[in-house]
Each structure stands twice: as C-alpha cells, then as structure tokens.
C-alpha cells in the first residue's frame, strides 16, 4: 500500500511528501510567460528555424507522398518495421557495451561521448541495421510468419487489461527522463506523479478524438500500440545520453480507432483539430504553471504536461503515414505547414532555444540536437526513396 506522508510543514504539495526532492523536469528549462522573449532578433531567429524545419519536413513529405502513390504497400511495410529495428539497434549498443568494453579503450566512445556529433554516427549505425534487417526480412521471413505476428498483436491490442499495462509501462519508461528516478518503494510517490502526468499528456489528443467521436455517435475504441514503447525508450535514451534538458518524451502507447465512413472521409480534419487542441491545451498549462511556483508537486505535473504536449504536437505533425501529420499533409498542405511552423516555433522559443540564436547553436544543446535529428530524418527519407527506386529498377531489369 502506498502511503503519502506529509512533510514537516504538513503540506501535501511539497516533493518530500511524495518521497523525492529534485524537480522531475528542471523548471529553468522552461521559459515562463513573464520571461517569453519579445526581442525581434530572438523571434526572428526561432522563426527562421521553424520555417527551415517546416520546409525540410515538407520536402520530405512530398517525397513520401509520391512513394506512397507508387509503392504504398512497400513503403508502409518498411516504415512499420522501424520500431523493431530501433529495438535491434539499442540491443546492439547494449551488447557492445556489455561484452566489448575495450571499445572505449580503443577510442570509439572517447571520441564521441561528449559531442552531439555522435547523433549522426548513431543514425548511420541505425541505417545499417535497417538495411541489413530488411534484407533478412525480405529473404527469410515468409508470408505466413508475417500473418502470425499480425494475428498475435491483433489478439491483444484491443484488450483493456493489455492497454492498461502498456500505458503504465510507458509511464515508467518516460519517468526515466529524470536521472534521479528509481523504482524502489521510497520513490513510488514520484513514480505516481510522473506516470500520471505522462499518461495524461501522451493520450490527450486521442482522448479528445474519442470524445468527439462519441459526441457524433461514431463507433470508437482504443487500441494498444506496442511500437510506442520502443519509440519512448529511444527518446529517453537519447535525452539521458546527451544530457538534454528538458529532453524528449514521446511515444504513442495507445491510439484511438474510429470506425465510420464519415470519419474516414474527414479523418484529416479530425486530426487537425486534435493537434490544434493539443497546442492550445499546452499553452493553457504553460500559463497556469506561472501561478503555481510555490506548489512544487502541481508545478512538476504542469511542467511535464507542457513539455510532453508541445513535443507530442511537433512530432505528431511529421508527415508519416502512421501519424496525424501524414493525414493532414495529404489533406491541406498549407494548413499543415502553418500548424507545423507554429508547433516548431513554440518548441524552440519556450524550450530548446529561448535566446533565438542561430549562429552559435552549440550553445543550445537541445536546439543543436533537434537540427541534427532533422538532418537524420531527411537522410532517412532520401535513403528510403533510393531503396524503393533501386528495388523498382532491379525488378524491371529482372523482367
């Protein structure tokens, strides 16, 4: 049984009452409304960064859209394997660290342990894992095997108990964004705060869509997404490895399924409203946090909600087939561009790059890491395009 003990002052809202002392997310990593910079240079700098991100992602989205028109089944098959391949990459790094400790002595880790430039290095290794595993999948796995995996996942993905377990595990994974987080009993109070905040924020958009569907009397239910756990683990590992503050907390442990012809025709509109609501709610939470600076635990919850919802809106808008951004991008590219630019600007101006610096990005590790990850994303889309085109040409030559 979990007992929350009051601290010496008898205040339930103090962190000591929940068994921890350090903020879950450093409050200084979030720019408060009173500190929001209206300096034209800062606004222009982050505006340029947001537009740059939007343009690069939009071009990548156009490439993906054309690939989906010509090879939809193939593209979705490759993208659907990515979470599993991320897990393989993490396993590879763990094995290297566990069984080949001499790697550090040989200079591999020493050369890359400090610099954020190891992000492209890790991305390169991930691309090698993707290429090698896709070769094995295409030549070894049978159609029956693929059907078996789909059958197993479909049996459990709609079960309430499985969804609950998945959400709780997702919350625990996200809690490790705080280096002080541990599972022992004395920190169960902290675990409750973190898990509650992460679950609420991560599922906020889908809950809104679910309520809208219920309001219009459309059949709807929640479905577990195991891949979201892998994505969440990768985000936390990146944040912890590079000591990023506030870091990345992202994953989609649960998705809403709305079965209706009306929804199918207007899915993009629903997703657009869902992301817009997420941004509005994040701003409301951001403002409320300014009034709770003397209440540490509620402030921790609001900080977590804000960070996760802003990052969730930004990453959900990537124009990938399985994300909201893919549907919005196909529907109205201009609306997608405006929404993505707004999300990117808020992300940089309140979290990653409040000073609006562009020339000296190394002074802002979160902003620099975001730029490097953008480059990796663009490189991944290019490699996907090259792989599909090469496969198509090889099939033509074989015929």
* Distance in angstroms (rounded) separating the CA atoms of residues 81 and 87: 10
pLDDT digits (tens, 9 = 90+) for 350-372: 988 888 777 767 777 888 888 88
pLDDT of 145 > 70? The answer is: no
Report which of residues 14 and 142 the model is more confident about: 14
pLDDT of 80 > 60? The answer is: yes
Gyration radius (Cα) of the chain, Å: 22
In a domain, 185, yes or no: no
List beta partners, residue 224. 254
* Distance in angstroms (rounded) separating the CA atoms of residues 22 and 175: 13
Classify burial at 398, counting beta carbons within 10 Å of its beta carbon; exposed 0-12, middle 13-18, buried 19 or more.
exposed
What's the gap between Cα 222 and its chain centre? Answer: 19
In a domain, 80, yes or no: yes
pLDDT digits (tens, 9 = 90+) for 167-177: 778 777 877 77
Burial 273-306 (b: 16+ CB within 10 A, else e): ebbbbbbebbbebbeebeebeeebbbbbbbbbbb
Report which of residues 191 and 227 the model is more confident about: 227
* Distance in angstroms (rounded) separating the CA atoms of residues 134 and 248: 27
pLDDT of residue 137: 65
96-83-238-316 Cα dihedral, nearest 10 degrees: 170
pLDDT of residue 234: 83
pLDDT digits (tens, 9 = 90+) for 232-285: 888 888 887 777 777 777 777 777 777 667 667 778 888 898 899 889 999 999
Which range of 54-63, 95-104, 109-118 scores highest in mean pLDDT? It is 54-63
Beta-carbon neighbour count of residue 166 at 10 Å? 20
Which range of 52-66, 130-144, 247-261 scores highest in mean pLDDT? It is 52-66
Average pLDDT over all residues of the chain: 78
Share of the chain above pLDDT 90, in %: 17
In a domain, 151, yes or no: no
Contact present, 348 and 52 (Cβ < 8 Å):
no
Which range of 61-70, 75-84, 178-187 scores highest in mean pLDDT? It is 61-70
In a domain, 372, yes or no: yes
pLDDT of 105 > 70? The answer is: no
In a domain, 213, yes or no: no
**Strands 220-224, 254-258: pairing kind:** antiparallel
pLDDT of residue 362: 73
* Distance in angstroms (rounded) separating the CA atoms of residues 16 and 379: 46
pLDDT of 51 > 90? The answer is: yes
In a domain, 361, yes or no: yes
Share of the chain above pLDDT 70, in %: 78
| Domain count across the chain | 1
Which range of 129-133, 138-142, 175-179 scores highest in mean pLDDT? It is 129-133
DSSP structure class, residue 117: T
User: Mind giving me the DSSP string for 2-67?
Assistant: ------TT--TTSGGGGT--S-SS-GGGS--GGG----HHHHHHHHHHHHHHHHHHHHHHHHHHHH
Give the mean model confidence (pLDDT) for residues 7-28: 71
Domain of 388?
A: 31-101+111-141+353-392
What's the gap between Cα 184 and its chain centre? Answer: 27
In a domain, 293, yes or no: no
Q: pTM of the full predicted structure?
A: 0.83
In a domain, 122, yes or no: yes
Give the mean model confidence (pLDDT) for residues 86-91: 82
């Amino acid at each position: 049984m979990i007992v929350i003990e009051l601290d010496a002052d008898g205040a339930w809202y103090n962190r000591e009452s929940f068994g921890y002392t350090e903020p879950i997310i450093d409050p200084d990593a979030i720019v408060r409304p009173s500190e929001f910079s209206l300096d034209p240079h800062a606004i222009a700098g982050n505006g340029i960064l947001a537009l740059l991100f939007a343009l690069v992602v939009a071009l990548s989205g156009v490439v993906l859209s054309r690939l989906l028109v010509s090879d939809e089944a193939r593209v979705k098959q490759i993208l659907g394997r990515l979470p599993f391949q991320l897990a393989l990459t993490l396993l590879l790094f763990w094995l290297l660290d566990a069984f080949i400790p001499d790697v550090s002595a040989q200079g591999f880790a020493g050369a890359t342990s400090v610099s954020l430039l190891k992000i492209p290095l890790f991305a390169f290794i991930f691309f090698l894992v993707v290429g090698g595993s896709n070769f094995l999948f295409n030549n070894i796995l049978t159609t029956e095997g693929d059907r078996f995996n789909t059958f197993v996942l479909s049996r459990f993905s709609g079960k309430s108990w499985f969804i609950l377990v998945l959400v709780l595990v997702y919350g625990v994974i996200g809690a490790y964004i705080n280096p002080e987080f541990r599972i022992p009993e004395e920190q169960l109070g902290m675990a409750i705060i973190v898990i509650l905040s992460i679950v609420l924020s991560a599922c906020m958009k889908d809950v809104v869509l679910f309520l809208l569907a219920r309001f219009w009397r459309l059949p709807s239910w929640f479905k577990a997404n195991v891949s979201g756990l892998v994505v969440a683990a990768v985000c936390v590992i990146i944040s912890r490895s590079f000591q990023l503050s506030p870091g990345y907390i992202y994953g989609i442990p649960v998705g809403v399924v709305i079965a209706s012809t009306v929804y199918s025709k207007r899915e993009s509109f629903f997703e657009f409203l869902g992301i817009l609501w997420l941004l509005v709610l994040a701003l409301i939470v951001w403002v409320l946090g300014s009034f709770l600076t003397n209440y540490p635990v509620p402030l921790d919850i609001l900080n977590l909600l804000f960070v996760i919802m802003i990052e969730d809106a930004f990453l959900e808008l990537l124009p990938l087939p399985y994300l909201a951004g893919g549907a919005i991008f196909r529907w109205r590219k201009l609306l997608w561009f405006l929404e993505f630019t707004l999300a990117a600007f808020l992300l940089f101006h309140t979290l990653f790059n409040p000073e609006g610096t562009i020339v000296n990005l190394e002074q802002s590790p979160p902003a620099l890491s975001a730029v490097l990850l953008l480059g990796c994303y663009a490189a991944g889309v290019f490699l996907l395009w090259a792989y599909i085109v090469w496969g198509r040409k090889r099939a033509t030559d074989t015929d």
